[in-house]
A and B are shown apart, each in its own frame.
Chain A
């Protein structure tokens, strides 16, 4: 499988320095191997630590049940789905899977096609469970940018939608500037967020005030 590669930058949180990385157009076997051999052992070790320290399940990583191998198998050969990943220091730092068959829900946009983010996850060392420092910052933003740019390329004008994991509501509502349509009873009561073409332009231009 041939993938397109774009140069991007991550923020090394310990030093505050920019680190060159790659956005790959597609999740390949290499990413699945990284997930199995690099992400999973870290996740498992953290979960053991969470058990030992008595942290209730509500405080655990909310994507801990995900299997990217299953997710990729489910969309194999389906043209309506697309994936992207970020690679830095030869290791997968984050992955996203998007679906081009869904429609917008917001007033004024309802029924128009959008890019729906089925799954977005960053590597466990880029998260801060148990108080440790994340290694790289910006992985989520670049994956979101890939989804928005894909929406533009598909002539969906930057419209995207997603169901946020509870701990990530602030990122989508405030950092990405998406509209919060509230809990969705059909999707495990996760909050549904949507980005209009105007909000997408603002996100791409990085012109929004924090």
Chain B
């Protein structure tokens, strides 16, 4: 398509536009919608698997010896988002951030979406395993042998659960 537009129009509109923000489009794409399960409400429950998301990302990052900034580059996500994920148990990230983290750490996307709070996990076994993981994970700088074992076990559990769902 050839556009026949005058210089006058371009400049007049440029002056009107000024330095305004002009972006359009959904903030995120391909989200797995958050649908509350029957009988649950939106507030955080004591068995909310969301509690495990931050500790899981923090432990995986440390296992790979990555700083937050380095992980942000590798996963193509905001470093600020990663800070919030690791430090705020009530923070819900963007779907794309979760997708990118799943890709970088080779984790099942569906389960990670549930852990992040963007999708609802309906099976009690998964919820309990996630909360147990959150409760046991510490915050020491280097991964202890126990933390490594616990992390590997939880990742194995996530992958097995994903396989069962197929």
A-B contact count (CB 8 A): 159
A188 CB contacts on chain B under 8 angstroms: 26-28
Contact: A57 with B80, CB < 8 Å? Answer: yes
Contact with B17, one of A44, A121, A137 (Cβ below 8 angstroms)? A137
Q: Say whether, besides A142-B5, A146-B1, A168 and B24 are in contact (CB < 8 Å).
A: yes
Contact: B10 with A138, CB < 8 Å? Answer: yes
Minimum CB distance partner of A119 in chain B: B25
Assembly CA distance A31 to B122 (angstroms):
43
Smallest CB separation, A72 vs chain B (Å): 12
Assembly CA distance A137 to B73 (angstroms):
30
Contact: B20 with A13, CB < 8 Å? Answer: no
B80 CB contacts on chain A under 8 angstroms: 47, 50-51, 57, 60
Q: Interface code A1-44, partner B: CB below 8 Å = 1, 0 otherwise?
A: 00010101111010000100001010000000000000000001
Bin chain B's interface residue count. 35 or more
Q: Residues of B with Cβ closer than 8 Å to A?
A: 1-5, 7-29, 69, 72-73, 76-81, 83-84, 94, 96-97
6 closest Cβ contacts across the A-B interface? A138-B14, A140-B22, A11-B14, A119-B25, A141-B13, A6-B3
Additional A-B contacts beyond A120-B25, A137-B18, A146-B3 (11; CB < 8 A): A8-B3, A23-B3, A74-B29, A120-B23, A120-B24, A122-B22, A145-B3, A168-B23, A175-B13, A188-B28, A206-B9
For this complex, 6 residue pairs linking A to B, each with C-beta atoms less than 8 Å apart, are: A11-B15, A60-B78, A67-B96, A139-B22, A149-B1, A167-B23
Q: Residues of A with Cβ closer than 8 Å to B?
A: 4, 6, 8-11, 13, 18, 23, 25, 44, 47-48, 50-51, 57, 60-67, 70-71, 74, 97, 117-122, 127-128, 133-134, 137-143, 145-146, 149-150, 153, 162-165, 167-168, 170-172, 175, 187-188, 190, 206, 210
